[in-house]
Amino acid sequence: MGGGLGAEQREALLERMAAVLDQHAAQRRTLTYLELADAIAMPGPQRIHRTTRLLEILMKRDAEAGRPIRSALAVSRAGHGLPAPGFFDRAGRLGLFDGGDARRFHQHLLDALFRTGS
């Protein structure tokens, strides 16, 4: 599920991703998928696709650990401040999102992140 990355490289990128997202949560800021890919030095090709795949892994891990969903901080440049549709699909598969109001759901996740700082 890591988009063709080896397990060791995937875990290293996930660790960097978590650190970047924690920093953005503490600053109460979102970032685009491209900004996140750049921040973690995601190798090409298909940098954005690989980044979103890792965000899905992180979402699953956060949900299983009962942590705020840090993946909510990554948004689509074209999504008017929202993540791409795949984010909501994955959240639905994890039982986090009922398919209702995506903007309200996303804001709820951001509020939880900004309360805790990560």
1 lies in a domain? no
**What 3-state class would DSSP assign to 31?**
strand
* Total-model pTM: 0.92
Average pLDDT, the chain: 93
pLDDT for position 92: 97
32-51: average pLDDT: 96
102 lies in a domain? yes
2 lies in a domain? no
3-17: average pLDDT: 90
44 lies in a domain? yes
94 lies in a domain? yes
Range of the domain at 65: 7-116
45 lies in a domain? yes
91-118: average pLDDT: 92
Start-end of H helices in the chain: 7-26, 33-39, 47-65, 85-93, 102-116
19 lies in a domain? yes
Residue-wise pLDDT for 60-86, tens only, equals 999 999 999 999 999 998 868 999 999
What is the tally of structural domains in the chain? 1
